[in-house]
Amino acid sequence: MPPSRAIVLALLAGALLPAQEGSGKPVDAAASRPALPQPVEPVAVPAASDAAAKTTLAEVQKMLAGRATIAQRLEAVQKLGAASHKSFVRPLQNLVRNDPALTVRRGAADALARQPTKETRPVLLNLLQDEKVEQAPELLASLVTALGHNGYQTKDWDLIEKMFGREFGPTYVPLQKAVLHLARTKKEKQAVPLLLQHIDEPAPENVDAADNPPAEYWERRWKAWAVWKGEVKDTLFAITGQRFSTRQEAVLWLRANGQRLGIPGG
């Protein structure tokens, strides 16, 4: 049975309102942010010589031998991420796929952002579609960020976009923020239809429809949207050069200007 109109509207309009100050008006945390958040660039590292890379790999192999502790595995990731060499890509890939600790896996994903693009880009694309990785949204967030820094191409957007609405629980929020960050920094025009879907407050079009998701779904979606709603508007601004308050406002502008700018939906 679909939830009653009263239940859904109570969730979306009452229990989920943002924190309020003394004035009694909702506080918009995005209002005090800069117009566009500055992208976080990976730390630049030197390129390792073949001889130095061979030494590093031997040290890492010893660290990972036997029942290595988390501290030892993190130290191995740190060594591999302290320099750039094509031979570091494979061991980092293995750590992302197979290490039991999410901290180690995310550290290895971050280190891939600093490795040679030619060898790293296909590995990142492979990992983003790996069954061992897909169930860890926080790890996917690190990989999306790494790809944005190291090898992203416009033809990758279809893969990235599919991740955004997979789920709206709290563990997926970092992934959604990573997708928005990539679209914003790359000014990815293909992202506009996705952004238009999420510029307005989420709510069912017809609460009484038989296929309407349960109230719990709308609660999770609203809470996620409340975290990154400002980034949706920031990303639209980065792509179009215009600020929009509502989806309708953005659609009207795109109908008049989108085709000229080569933006889908215009």
Q: How far apart are CA 63 and CA 91, in angstroms?
A: 12
**pLDDT at position 42, please?**
65
> 23 pLDDT exceeds 50?
no
**pLDDT at position 206, please?**
81
Q: How far apart are CA 71 and CA 76, in angstroms?
A: 9
- Give the three-state DSSP class for 84: strand
The residue assigned the tokens 């909702």 is 26
What are 218-256's pLDDT values in tens digits? Answer: 999 999 999 999 999 999 999 999 999 999 999 999 999
> 159 pLDDT exceeds 50?
yes
Q: Between 23 and 161, name the one with better pLDDT.
A: 161
**Confidence category of residue 207, pLDDT binned at 50, 70, 90:** confident
E-state strands within 164-226: none
What are 54-103's pLDDT values in tens digits? Answer: 999 999 999 999 899 999 999 999 999 999 999 999 999 999 999 999 99
| Contact partners, residue 7, CB within 8 Å, separation at least 6 | 215
What are 168-179's pLDDT values in tens digits? Answer: 999 999 999 999
Question: Within 13 Å, how many C-alpha atoms sit on residue 2's CB side?
Answer: 15
CB 115 within 8 Å of CB 84: yes
**pLDDT at position 201, please?**
96
Q: How far apart are CA 179 and CA 128, in angstroms?
A: 12
> 31 pLDDT exceeds 70?
no
Q: What is the mean pLDDT of residues 1-27?
A: 42
What are 108-152's pLDDT values in tens digits? Answer: 999 999 999 999 999 999 999 999 999 999 999 999 999 999 999
What are 180-197's pLDDT values in tens digits? Answer: 999 999 999 999 999 999
| Contact partners, residue 228, CB within 8 Å, separation at least 6 | 173, 176, 177, 180
> 28 pLDDT exceeds 90?
no
**pLDDT at position 210, please?**
77
> For the whole model, what pTM was predicted?
0.84
Average pLDDT for the chain: 87
- Give the three-state DSSP class for 48: coil
**pLDDT at position 34, please?**
43
CB 146 within 8 Å of CB 112: yes
**pLDDT at position 15, please?**
41
